[in-house]
Amino acid sequence: MSNQPHVLRRYTSGYLLYAGKLRRSQWKSADEIAAEQRRQLRELLRAAAQVPYYRSLGIGPDDELAKLPILRKDTVRARFNDFLNPRHPRRGVFEDHTSGSTGAPLRFLLTAEQKAYEMAFAIRFWRWAGYRTGDRIAAFRSYIPATPRDPLWKLDRRQQTLFFSVYDMTPAHLRRYVTEFNRYRPRFVRGYPTSIFAFAQFAAAEGLPVHSPHAVLTSSETLSPEMRAVIEKTLQCPVFDWWGTNERVVTACQCEQRGAYHVNAEGGILELVPVAPGLYRMIGTGLINHAMPLIRYDLGDLALPAAAPCPCGRGLPVIGGILGRSDDLIVTGDGKFIPPVRFYTLFETCDQIRRFQVVQTAPDAVTVRLVPARELTNLTGLRQKLQRFLGENVAIEFAIVDEIQPDPSGKVRTVIAHAPR
């Protein structure tokens, strides 16, 4: 969610309207929610019939979603103009783009309505976590010191948020972060899971007392069970995770049960399409944005279906969990699928390692970069465990490094798979 004041001002009226609507709609039955989605989908397909790309497919309002082709990012990148709806009013439409952390940035159009919905969904999520207007927040994202002389943290009084730079998380700085965090006493913490995890892990390892907030809100990267456990134990509060992509097609997040992820179904349809046994691609259709409709768009992430409905009783559909980016899915020479989350399980339970990055350099070769927490004496055990799930044919090389650099958006890529598939 964007918290920039000018964005807040511009969309506040729409957002308040939608926030009220979403507060009620979450408790509708699954059937009622699905019926409303079908109505929205018909409207979307009617709009899409004006859009060159979809017109060439002969799309009409009565089409069944599952029969339409899956749309890849590359197609949108290459044919941007063919996705624009010429009949959509220009007012309130603006251009945005993906961070381009793993390839060329992708441009897309958003609408004011989409933006307002996005804020309303984010606030609903924050409310599920117990947020009250005016609560103090510590954020581990969005702040980049412009020069080396700029401060490592910055208080934004308007947003009641203390922003910490995630580009400077060295042990010496982290010690000062803990002191500043304790002084500010935030009721909420939000940001990248890897950054909050690094903060919590450092405090725990150093035995530093940390102020306990009401809850932690993570987003924008995959939250592994191990990261969650370390953050919850150190900060003594629950973690709530949000999943979304820059394109804002559809989002999902955890309610107070903190098990499955509820799809924010009033804004989009999420389909899980099988890739391999137990692994699904997330395919989204945005129901709000008619200026540049994205239908059956491959969101680039992997998920698990939910085993059961969420016990909270909300009618919003659920998915079981997020397994990381599909681009980071390692496929070995003999066709073994290893989702990124498997590596977290291995490295994050190893207290000798502070950070890691797995880079697949060839189908049967990986380089594992390790930032040790203390002197690494023996890598044999780790090599054996890695070999077991990568397979005997995969050559493993270790590289001990001082730091793993985040990409320009501030995210740390923990797994980099070989070559596009």
Binding site for Zn ion (CB under 5 A): 255, 257, 310, 312
Of 205, 225, 56, 231, which Cα lies nearest the Cα of 138? 231
Nearest distance in Å: CB 314, Zn ion? 5
In this structure, the number of other CB atoms found within 10 A of the CB of residue 66 comes to: 9
* Opening angle at CA 140, ends 124 and 358, nearest 5: 105
d(CA 239, CA 232) in angstroms, rounded, equals 6
Minimum CB distance to Zn ion smaller for 121 or for 347:
121
Minimum CB distance to Zn ion smaller for 253 or for 382:
253
Nearest distance in Å: CB 233, Zn ion? 23
Starting at the edge strand found earlier in the chain, the sheet holding 318-325 runs: 153-156, 161-164, 137-140, 188-191, 215-218, 239-243, 252-253, 261-263, 318-325, 297-305, 279-286, 268-276
Cβ 218 vs Cβ 190: under 8 Å: yes
Minimum CB distance to Zn ion smaller for 166 or for 310:
310
Minimum CB distance to Zn ion smaller for 310 or for 370:
310
Which residues, other chains included, contact 184 with Cβ-Cβ below 8 Å and sequence gap of 6+? 136, 138, 155, 162, 211
Nearest distance in Å: CB 40, Zn ion? 22
Minimum CB distance to Zn ion smaller for 219 or for 326:
219
Nearest distance in Å: CB 257, Zn ion? 5
Distance of CA 139 to the CA centre of its chain: 15
Q: Please state whether beta strands 337-338 and 330-331 pair in parallel, antiparallel, or not at all (unpaired).
A: antiparallel
Minimum CB distance to Zn ion smaller for 257 or for 352:
257
Minimum CB distance to Zn ion smaller for 293 or for 317:
317
User: DSSP for 58-113?
Assistant: T--TT--GGGSPPBPHHHHHHTGGGG--TTS-STTEEEEE---TTSS--EEEEEHH
d(CA 265, CA 124) in angstroms, rounded, equals 13
Nearest distance in Å: CB 260, Zn ion? 7
Nearest distance in Å: CB 285, Zn ion? 22
Residues in the chain: 421
Nearest distance in Å: CB 242, Zn ion? 14
Helix H, strand E, coil C: the string for 218-261 is: ECCCCCCHHHHHHHHHHHCCCEEEEECCCCCCCCEECCCCCCCE
* Opening angle at CA 252, ends 246 and 256, nearest 5: 135
Nearest distance in Å: CB 259, Zn ion? 7
d(CA 302, CA 335) in angstroms, rounded, equals 17
Nearest distance in Å: CB 262, Zn ion? 6
Nearest distance in Å: CB 60, Zn ion? 35
Minimum CB distance to Zn ion smaller for 238 or for 300:
238
Minimum CB distance to Zn ion smaller for 93 or for 260:
260
Q: Could you give the C-alpha distances from 151 to 68, 154, 177, 195, 267, in angstroms and in order?
A: 51, 7, 11, 18, 38
Minimum CB distance to Zn ion smaller for 3 or for 257:
257
Q: Could you give the C-alpha distances from 330 to 230, 314, 350, in angstroms and in order?
A: 26, 35, 21
